[in-house]
Every structure is written in C-alpha cells, then in structure tokens.
Amino acid sequence: MSGRAAWVEHIMGMPISIHVRGSQPRGEAVTAAVRSVFGHLRKVDAVLSTWRADSDLLRLQHAEVAPGSEDVHDWIAEVTSLCLQAEERTDGLFAAWRVLDSGRIAFDPTGVVKGWAVASASAYLAEVPDIAWSIGAGGDILCGAGRLLGGQAPVWRIGIQDPADAGRCVDVVGVAVGAVATSGNAIRGTHVRDPRTGGVVDRAGSATVVGPDLVWADVWATAAWVDPQRCARLLAERDPAYRLITVAA
C-alpha cells in the first residue's frame, strides 16, 4: 500500500482527479480502470450535459426527441427518478425543477448528475484488486477500496476548503470508504437557488456533508447550503449516517 499515482482530466467542465494507492498504483489493471472511469464520465456528459445542445437531455427539453424514444438514453429516467427522490427526502430543499419567469418549467438535474456519475464510474476502480482510490470531481470527493484489499482500507484525509480562501482548509475529515460533498458560493459564484423562494442563495460560507454515498452527500450538501438548520434536523431524522459541517462567514 505504499505507492501512489494520480490522474486528472477535465470532463463536464470540471477537473476530475483520480488518486490511487497500492503496491502497483500504475499497473495495467489500474490504468485500464482509470481510462474506463474517465470514459464513463464523458459518456454521462454526452447524455446529460446541460451545456451541449446535442445531449440527450437538451434534445429532450427542446422537443427534438420524444420522451421514451429509443434515442434517449435510460440514464435520463434514472436521473429523473433520483431527482424526485432527492426532492422528497430533503422536503424540497433540493429541487431539480423550477418555474422560469416565462412560466416554462426547467429541469436541471446537475445537482445529482455529478455524484451519480462519479459513483457509477467508481465501479471500475472497485473491481481492481489491492488498491485504495479517491476521486475528486470539482470539489466533491468519493473514496473507496478495490476488491480483495488486504487489511483495512487506508484513510484519505480530505481537507475542507476555506470558502474565503481557496488555498486554505478549515477542517480535515478522514474517510476510508465514503463521500465528502461541499456546497457554497466560493468558486463558481452564486448558483444554488432556494426552491422555496426561487432566489439564489447569496451569502458567504459553505456546507459540507460526509457520508457513505456521494449522490446523497451531494444532495444533502446542497440542501444544507439552502437551509443549514432545517437540513441538520432532517439529517438527524432521516439520514443519521451523514454528518454536516457548516462553515460560517
């Protein structure tokens, strides 16, 4: 478990970093799995991008293809279902649908797509014997161990970025197998809306959620960014395996 290797590719407009620890971190099995992870994420982007006009999602939204058409990938249905679950589980603090000023309803599943895509893609790494891995996707982290890993999976030390200074961290959490997701305005500017008011959440600070599954850590982090107090109560009731870390301004 001594060696380390890292790969970075830019997919979905964000850096995807894969770090591997193991006795042979650049072995053939690892590099093949890493290629497959990146390949999977590129495929997800082609299907679910909200930026590429030729994605299945946008062709569907622009009525260029009919819902249920064979041209539409099954992933659309899978992600839509996850969005519905997320809205229900967070009592509407997370919402993928919103009514535009024009009255049209916009569907933006990006809040679940990243976590879902990384979690799915990680299956390739989970198949590689005797490694531990960590994937960073634009600020969200998923850690895990490969098949047959001897002994205990090593702990990855995940720094929680200071929202006021990207070069610093305000906390570190240790994760062997699990996810860390952060929501805030730090780098991308204001981009999360409060589904209850429709307004953007515009304040300093950030919300981080640590837990077993990246999809839900990500959803809860978004919900916590919208309403930290309410989210903390919901988490305690519904998802006690997830831990909330808020950074105040």
Partner 1 sequence: MRRITLWLLSTVTVLVLLFSYQASLSTTHAASNSPAPVTSPSPATSPQAGADAGSASDSASGASGDAAATQSQTFIGDAVNTRYGPVQVQIVVSGGKVVTSEVTQVPWNDHKDIQINSYAVPILNAEAVAAQSAQIDMVSGATYTSDAYITSLQSALDQAGL
Residues touching partner 1, count (CB under 8 A): 63
Least Å distance, CB 73 to partner 1, is 24
Residues near 12 by beta carbon (within 8 Å), at least 6 away in sequence:
41, 44, 45, 49, 114, 117, 137, 138
Among 48, 119, 131, 158, which residue interacts with partner 1 (rule: CB under 8 A)?
158
Among 32, 105, 169, 200, which residue interacts with partner 1 (rule: CB under 8 A)?
169
- Biggest CA-to-CA distance, the chain: 58
Token readout for 65 is 């293809």
Q: Is 193 in the site for partner 1 (CB under 8 A)?
A: no
Residues near 228 by beta carbon (within 8 Å), at least 6 away in sequence:
207, 244, 246
Cα 95 to its chain centre, rounded Å, is: 15
Token readout for 133 is 């891995």
Least Å distance, CB 120 to partner 1, is 19
Among 43, 52, 89, 191, which residue interacts with partner 1 (rule: CB under 8 A)?
191
Neighbours of 100 (CB within 10 A): 9
Q: Is 156 in the site for partner 1 (CB under 8 A)?
A: yes
Among 47, 180, 201, 223, which residue interacts with partner 1 (rule: CB under 8 A)?
180
Among 77, 105, 200, 236, which residue interacts with partner 1 (rule: CB under 8 A)?
236
Q: Which amino acid is at 107?
A: F
* DSSP track, 39-68: HHHHHHHHHH-SS-TTSHHHHHHTTSS-TT
User: Whose Cβ is closer to partner 1: residue 47's or residue 247's?
Assistant: 247
User: Whose Cβ is closer to partner 1: residue 18's or residue 82's?
Assistant: 18
Q: Is 166 in the site for partner 1 (CB under 8 A)?
A: yes
User: Whose Cβ is closer to partner 1: residue 7's or residue 97's?
Assistant: 7
Stretch of residues binding partner 1 (CB under 8 A), selected from 40-48, 79-87, 90-98, 170-178: 170-178
Among 147, 157, 196, 238, which residue interacts with partner 1 (rule: CB under 8 A)?
157
Residues near 181 by beta carbon (within 8 Å), at least 6 away in sequence:
115, 139, 140, 141, 208, 209, 214, 217, 218, 220, 221
Q: Which residues of the shown chain bind partner 1 in the complex (CB under 8 A)?
A: 4-8, 10, 13-15, 17, 19, 114, 134, 136, 138-141, 143, 155-164, 166-174, 180-188, 191, 204-206, 208, 232, 235-236, 240, 243-249
